[in-house]
Amino acid sequence: MQTPSKTSQLGRPRTPRLSRKAIGRAALEMFQEEESLSIPRLAERLGVRQSSFYKHVTGRQEIIELARGALVEKAPMPELPAGSLDDVIREIFDSLRKAYSMVPALLPLLLTQPVSHPAALERYDQFVEAFEIAGAPRHLIIPALEALDSAAIGASLDAMTMESAWSINEEEEGTYPHLFAAKKAVAEHPVDRFAFLADVLSAGLKAAIDDD
Amino acid sequence: MQTPSKTSQLGRPRTPRLSRKAIGRAALEMFQEEESLSIPRLAERLGVRQSSFYKHVTGRQEIIELARGALVEKAPMPELPAGSLDDVIREIFDSLRKAYSMVPALLPLLLTQPVSHPAALERYDQFVEAFEIAGAPRHLIIPALEALDSAAIGASLDAMTMESAWSINEEEEGTYPHLFAAKKAVAEHPVDRFAFLADVLSAGLKAAIDDD
DNA sequence: CACAATAAGTGAATGGCTTTCACTAAAGAG
DNA sequence: CTCTTTAGTGAAAGCCATTCACTTATTGTG
């Protein structure tokens, strides 16, 4: 239950116990397993005291950014084989939602801060390149990418709020008749939300880009 | 510096000092002004002790849900004049983003819990009705509404992360060349993100619905 | 109309969280 | 070899949400 280090825990250790990469990975893992981040518990996971983090990181926000980096490094970069705009859109959306679906609890926190982790910037840079190659007008690439990102996050978050964003029960059928009917309709005739969103985005973005 | 109530603060007051509605409104206001919610500070705003809330509410999450209700009640229901599907989509998206833009800091918290406030459910029920009247197939209404909601939240959050989701500076031009070029292109040729998204969604949703 | 039950406040306490800072001991530079 | 820097520790400060015994007013019941 204890590392066999008999020596004192004080002072600089002979071999480093922490690194920014290890912190990011552990934070990501914690989000996946516990759906939240607590620095004391993260320290426990890493066999370290909480104050140690502040030698590697300025604070909680930076740990979250490192988790973003760890997520990007864990998610494979898709093949973007210089295909059509449609293929590019679908591939990017799919890779985003696959990554985000791994850690829904992290997403609200990622939303509130700009992307600064190099691995993440690198990944977006490649996405932009793919848009360029597919012939998208330069000034529309960022808006398009943001739209894909938002949609992927929204879709992945639905997994967290338990497959239905609206909490109504049988007795309220009369109170919210249309909402209730719509929920019943989609239950009886299930729709693959991801495929639906992918269709919406590819059709919509292509139209917006072609109209330019 | 003190309310001139000479009587003791103990025991049940002669007239109620709190209500669920007042709590929701104050919480919404606090999110707008301070970009976060703290129960001690909310108590201060309402001239009450923090423990008092727990007579009206089960906890923090419920206060957040009351803030959602207050937001819906503050945002006007749009005219949805039995128009075309396209009009319905644009009106709903526009009213959602207008509402969400008032309190970007609240959005990440709203995302993590299902909608249960009656005023909010009522509002979504009317949106569903508008989709029905416009002739959307019943089983696609919920997915379409979720898409609009996600997009509106994403667009409103961009306002918070300071108009650019990616934090890169001049020196990194060489490191992320495509991203940098795309950012420059959109700076030189500004795109109205909301209008762009509205176009994407209306074209995309119409296509997805018509294809059905 | 008395009086029990309930409702709406208070105050104090608990246990969690993030961050800071003086400290120690090892690593690395000159 | 000495000096500075680095990577840990431990204790503490100052937040936060929630609980619970308490007080006082209101409401419902016989």
CA–CA gap between residue B140 and residue B207 (Å, rounded)? 12
Which of A178, A180, A183, A206 to mutate to probe the B interface, most B CBs <10 Å? A178
At residue A82, the pLDDT reads 74
As a rounded value in angstroms, the CA-to-C1' distance for B12 and C5 is 15
- Residue A48 corresponds to which tokens in the numbers above? 């370290």
State the pLDDT at residue A176: 97
Q: Which of these ranges, A87-96, B77-86, B112-121, B200-209, has the smallest mean pLDDT?
A: B77-86
The arithmetic mean of pLDDT across residues A106-126, rounded, is: 97
Check residue A4 and give its pLDDT.
39
Distance CA B187, CA A124 (A): 18
**Could you check: is the Cβ of residue B11 within 7 Å of any atom of nucleic acid strand D?**
yes
Tell me which chain B residues have a C-beta less than 8 angstroms from the C-beta of A189.
138-139
Whole-number pLDDT of residue B6: 40
Among chain A residues, CA nearest to B207: A203
**Residue A89: predicted pLDDT:** 96
CB A27 within 8 A of CB A42: yes
Beta bridge partners of A166: B115
Q: Place B1 in a pLDDT band, splitting at 50, 70 and 90.
A: very low
Proximity of residue A38 CB to strand D below 7 A = no
Residue A126 to residue B200, Cβ atoms within 8 A: no
Give the integer Cα–Cα distance in Å for A170 and A182.
Answer: 13
Does position A158 have pLDDT exceeding 90, yes or no? no
What's the pLDDT band for B31 if we cut at 50, 70, 90?
very high
Confidence category of residue A8, pLDDT binned at 50, 70, 90: low
Helices B193-210 and A138-158, axial angle in degrees (round to 10) = 60
What is the pLDDT averaged over residues B90-118?
96
List the single range of A1-15, B38-52, B125-139 with lowest mean pLDDT. Answer: A1-15
Of the candidates A54, A45, A42, A95, the residue with the CA atom closest to the CA atom of residue A72: A95
Task: For residue B40, give the nucleotide whose C1' atom is nearest its CA.
Answer: D16
Q: Collect all residues of chain A within an 8 Å Cβ-Cβ radius of residue B114.
A: 161-162, 164-167
- Closest CB from B149, B167, B208 relative to A200: B208
pLDDT of residue B206: 93
Q: Pick out the nucleotide with least CA–C1' distance to A11.
A: C25
pTM: 0.93
A-chain residues within 8 Å CB-CB of B90?
A: none
Provide, rounded to the nearest whole percent, the portion of chain B with pLDDT above 70. Answer: 95
pLDDT at B8 over 70: no
- DSSP bridge partners of B115: A166
- pLDDT the model gives residue A5: 38
Secondary structure of residue B119 in the 3-state scheme: helix
Could you tell me the CA-to-CA distances from B65 to A4, A8, A118, B198 in Å, in that order? 49, 50, 36, 27
B16 touches strand D (CB under 7 A): no
Q: Is A139:B185 a contact under the CB 8 Å cutoff? A: yes
Eight-state DSSP code of residue B79:
P
> Which of B125 and B161 is assigned the larger pLDDT?
B125
B162 pLDDT tier (thresholds 50, 70, 90) = low
CA of B1 to C1' of D14 (A): 24
The SS3 assignment for A167 reads: coil
At residue B59 the predicted structure's pLDDT band, cuts being 50, 70 and 90, is: very high
Q: Is A187 exposed, middle or buried (0-12, 13-18, 19+ CB in 10 A)?
A: exposed
Phi, psi of B141 (to 5 degrees): -70, -50
Q: Across the interface, do A141 and B182 touch by the CB < 8 Å criterion?
A: yes
- Rounded to a whole number of angstroms, the distance from the CA of B46 to the nearest CA of chain A is 28
Q: Which of B130, B143, B154 is nearest to B205 (CA)?
A: B143
The whole-number pLDDT of residue A162 equals 66
Enumerate domains of chain A plus CATH numbers. 20-71 (1.10.10.60), 77-210 (1.10.357.10)
Residue A115, strand partner residues: B166
Residue A200: is its pLDDT beyond 80? yes
- Residue pLDDT, tens place only, A120-149: 999 999 999 999 999 999 999 999 999 999
Q: What is the pLDDT of residue A3?
A: 36
Please state, rounded to an integer, the average pLDDT across all residues of chain B.
Answer: 92
Least confident of B39-43, B83-87, B179-183: B83-87
Q: Do A143 and B193 touch (CB under 8 A)?
A: yes
